[in-house]
Structure 1
Amino acid sequence: MSATTEAAPSARTGRKVYSAKERGQKLAQIETLIGGGATLKSAVKQAGISEQTYYLWKKATAPAADSDELKDLVALEEENKRLRSLLADRLRKENAELKKRLGLN
């Protein structure tokens, strides 16, 4: 099923076809309603779609978020590695200085 830019009933099935923008708006509306304390069932009913459609749309939009999250995760891991290295260097220097002061070297 291909997404069209207009929200007109499909000639074959009689169902409404939503554009990507409309899908995003419906998903945002549902998330807002759920955040306000509504149940998923009542939120999708209020938005005028089925629960199955909600899950399909949500799944279809998830990979874009996952790729952004993956980029963030990689960046955080690199920063973590860099900070661990800096901490290890500082601890080695501090340890050497303490040994020198105590005459253990």
Structure 2
Amino acid sequence: AAEFQQAVIDVLISKTLKAAENYKVKSVLVGGGVSANKNLRRQMEKAVKEKLPKVIYHEPGLKFTTDNAAMIAAAACFHLKRKKDWSKIETAANLRLG
């Protein structure tokens, strides 16, 4: 399991650094449920500071690194309480931000 975790961390760091360089960003923020991983946080911070010294690294407090599963479950609960047919929910998996 440790090897898999490290492989995922390596890919996330590599892709983040490449995107940061390509888009000439001023800051990098690690977020989402995966950002609760202490190894990812430590290694991402180190990589950004070493490879992109002019880029500011941000990470949220651990209480803000929740997974979306709880939010999805809550939405499903409210939807069921309204007795709506779940199979008629409109979905869009690839919405763009902005």
Normalised to the residue count of structure 2, the TM-score between the two structures is: 0.30
- Structure whose CA Rg is larger: 1
More helix by share: 1
Normalised to the residue count of structure 1, the TM-score between the two structures is: 0.28
More strand by share: 2
